[in-house]
Chain A
């Protein structure tokens, strides 16, 4: 590697370097911040992310391969990085008050989020199974710790432990698949892999390797049959972290899945059949199990499983539109899901947990504006126009039908009709019950800003999807 190449590589990965450096600095500075001045950390962290975002934007002009084929800064990565920035910044904003209430507002909290962000960014840019592994571990190790951040609470500890054990097992499976690939092809680079195989792409050894890699990746997005951790972790983790995980790391998982699955080698191995089955079962399980949940966070956990299933359908469809549809879906999902989580986080105040759906009875009477926002987010999650959630689903369906998967599209819409039930059930509780209590939502200006921003995204992309759609279509790699 010559000096020029090194310089180019550093340049390409400058946003990642900024985030990691910023996190390290904040880790030290955080120890010096006097008690009661922690809000400084929020703003410093937001500033770090914004600088990274600015750099990403400045570097977005051209495709920059880096680190001898391990890493690439292309439009695809840029798109995902912006989804991550969005998720992270909004999580910071939502965390400010919540962290005070829960007593978790130490500097480590923000630093870990930044490290998780850097892991996700590496994932979006990784073009080698090993750099994927590095990014993956960086990301999940941070989320393990963040899940257990409510140290005094049993649920949180249990969730973290479960997450670590299952996560470690899935990482092991992933690594095993990587080693098989290396044994068979002599490389771990995604592009070189396809070229290295001269024989039958359906070689049983290769198929096994692919299945292992699929299993490892599917775990991260919480698809069946590797979904078991999702409800417990989502319920146990601090709600801000749940919000973050449901959007950021999930999108990162999809970024990798798209890069790996649409690799010519994997695409040739008929793995899409497995993926299609995974998608359908994931949607079905998420939708049906959510019907019987009473806990808001668990409903959202199963809802996120169902949404992951729907997005995987875009992977099944493949092609330009398939990839673009997944990316578009994740962008919209980030808005609507952070929005609904924002309302749940806001409800956590005093001794009111805001986690039981029944607790929201009659909320519309006391806070019509906030209730309307919840209605907006819930209908968007259910995929009812004119919200953005509808257009996300619509585009995935278009991609499916374009590739001739009409039956899959039919199954998908029927399952989303099932899923609609539990979203409108929450709307029912909010609007059609009499209030049994007084509500005191923790409505800080930051929370207000977050809700306004996510609501604007949810309705704005729904009404004017053209620009965002074009963005996703232009960001498809290889296109």
Chain B
């Protein structure tokens, strides 16, 4: 009997959370949480090490009946698309624990339990091969995330938590109805692979496409259903922001990749122009909004909207470069924006202000911090040599191939990105030391560098040698494309 690796990956955090319930000492809680997240990370590396990049088939699959009467199974598996995100989630897991080490000083145990529960559910979403199981993971995430924002957040946390909860809930409930319709249309099964193989009538595909779109668009988020994001990000504690930006937003895009494209190929092609237009709108609009922010966290939050626009654009370009670029950008955005939120959190812990105007000349006070910040800022604006450059270049070339106007808009968005990111960096790091910053800001310590360093490694690794990452997804993406185009042109 083989080891159920994916089940282990998903349920190790649950075991950790269960253990935490019996601990009383805050430090013991922190170390235990760290231990379990690191263990989970190690397991995810083991998964990647055993991953076969030559096939698009699901790997490490597990299948057990769950509710046989309704055709629901407990089925897990990863392919080239989900494997990357399992890894990313496991990576950000322990970084989140480190980021919360001192930032969370009350109800530490409850926080870590929520964090671990959250991680288990996110991993479950990426591993699930049963639509019902997927939905359970997807929806259950609302509970810990609601608590993370609402209990440990900033001053406006209650409002932000409500907004996050209700937006996502309303979106995903329609998705649920879509799932049930799909269940009956697809021959009473929730098996994702079986459903993928079904050809549905175009009319049905259209309805389902929009039912899914609402759920996924809220999570991505796409303009105009993005308004929960700035509130949630600004109010969430640092670890919450990292999870939100790093993993949660990816789930919407993952939903497109896993469900909309392969299950509803004709509708996806038919509505791709609409999706491209919405993506371009998000890129430009998010960029302009970011340009106008004074709050560091808000700036990064709006830049997320803009960057996720690149992701959806790549996906709905529906060509190889676009898709690979989009998926790579999902990974990159998780690393880079996760890091940027971490940086905002680090400086906020020291000064308790997030206003850009309060900062200046940080380079003289905290040189290590600003050096790393420079790296991630440049990565966020897609400078060659960093990870986002590879991703955005692929997306842009895919986007131009799909639609000239949309591609042009995206380039404008990239320019805006350079403007607000460089502007932010100039004001915060360069120039004379501001009055506020003189309050002895201490530079990053060992624990913080431990959290930052792996992210920095990935920025450069993907930037300079992206091949391993593209190799992982290549077979699966090509297979996805044949699924979309063969069936679409076969009609």
Known: A398-B180, A406-B181. A428 touches B139 (CB 8 A): no
Q: Contact string, B287-309, partner A, CB cutoff 8 A, digits 1/0?
A: 00000000000000000000000
> Is A6 among interface residues, defined by CB-CB distance under 8 A?
no
CB neighbours (8 Å) of B68 from chain A are 466
CB neighbours (8 Å) of A466 from chain B are 65-69
A387 to B177, CA, bound (A): 18
> Is A54 among interface residues, defined by CB-CB distance under 8 A?
no
Q: Which of A373-422 contact B (CB under 8 A)?
A: 375, 379, 384-386, 390, 394-395, 397-398, 401-402, 406, 409-410, 413-414, 416-417, 420-421
A469 to B135, CA, bound (A): 19
Assess whether B166 is in contact with A384, with CB atoms less than 8 Å apart.
no
> Is B143 among interface residues, defined by CB-CB distance under 8 A?
yes
> Is A465 among interface residues, defined by CB-CB distance under 8 A?
yes
> Is B5 among interface residues, defined by CB-CB distance under 8 A?
no
Assess whether B150 is in contact with A409, with CB atoms less than 8 Å apart.
no
Assess whether B169 is in contact with A409, with CB atoms less than 8 Å apart.
no
A416 to B151, CA, bound (A): 24
CB neighbours (8 Å) of B140 from chain A are 384-386
> Is B359 among interface residues, defined by CB-CB distance under 8 A?
no
> Is B142 among interface residues, defined by CB-CB distance under 8 A?
yes
Partner of B143, one of A384, A425, A469: A384
> Is B409 among interface residues, defined by CB-CB distance under 8 A?
no
A432 to B107, CA, bound (A): 12
Partner of B165, one of A413, A416, A420: A420
> Is A17 among interface residues, defined by CB-CB distance under 8 A?
no
> Is B458 among interface residues, defined by CB-CB distance under 8 A?
no
A interface residues, tally (CB under 8 Å): 35
Assess whether B166 is in contact with A390, with CB atoms less than 8 Å apart.
no
CB neighbours (8 Å) of B177 from chain A are 397, 401, 406, 409-410, 413
> Is B176 among interface residues, defined by CB-CB distance under 8 A?
yes
Assess whether B143 is in contact with A410, with CB atoms less than 8 Å apart.
no
Nearest CB in chain A: distance from B164 CB, A? 11
> Is A368 among interface residues, defined by CB-CB distance under 8 A?
yes
Nearest CB in chain A: distance from B292 CB, A? 30
Assess whether A368 is in contact with B69, with CB atoms less than 8 Å apart.
no
Assess whether A417 is in contact with B70, with CB atoms less than 8 Å apart.
no
Assess whether A469 is in contact with B150, with CB atoms less than 8 Å apart.
no
Partner of B184, one of A365, A368, A402, A416: A402
A421 to B168, CA, bound (A): 12
CB neighbours (8 Å) of A406 from chain B are 177, 181
Most chain A C-beta atoms within 10 Å of own C-beta, residue among B146, B151, B162: B146
Partner of B136, one of A365, A385, A432: A385
> Is A458 among interface residues, defined by CB-CB distance under 8 A?
no
> Is B110 among interface residues, defined by CB-CB distance under 8 A?
yes
Assess whether A424 is in contact with B67, with CB atoms less than 8 Å apart.
no
Assess whether B143 is in contact with A470, with CB atoms less than 8 Å apart.
no
Assess whether B69 is in contact with A410, with CB atoms less than 8 Å apart.
no
Most chain B C-beta atoms within 10 Å of own C-beta, residue among A385, A428, A432: A385
Assess whether B70 is in contact with A469, with CB atoms less than 8 Å apart.
yes
Partner of B157, one of A365, A375, A386, A432: A432
> Is A473 among interface residues, defined by CB-CB distance under 8 A?
yes
CB neighbours (8 Å) of A394 from chain B are 176, 180
> Is B147 among interface residues, defined by CB-CB distance under 8 A?
yes
A75 to B319, CA, bound (A): 57
> Is B161 among interface residues, defined by CB-CB distance under 8 A?
yes
> Is A329 among interface residues, defined by CB-CB distance under 8 A?
no
Known: A384-B140, A385-B135, A473-B69. A421 touches B173 (CB 8 A): no
Known: A420-B166, A469-B70. A432 touches B161 (CB 8 A): yes
14 A-B pairs whose Cβ atoms sit less than 8 Å apart in the complex:
A384-B140, A385-B139, A386-B140, A397-B176, A398-B183, A401-B181, A410-B174, A414-B170, A414-B174, A417-B169, A424-B146, A431-B151, A466-B66, A469-B69
- Extra inter-chain contacts (9) besides given A379-B143, A409-B177, A427-B146, CB under 8 Å: A384-B140, A384-B169, A385-B139, A395-B70, A397-B177, A401-B177, A401-B180, A406-B177, A409-B180
Closest 4 CB pairs of A and B: A413-B173, A385-B136, A417-B170, A401-B180
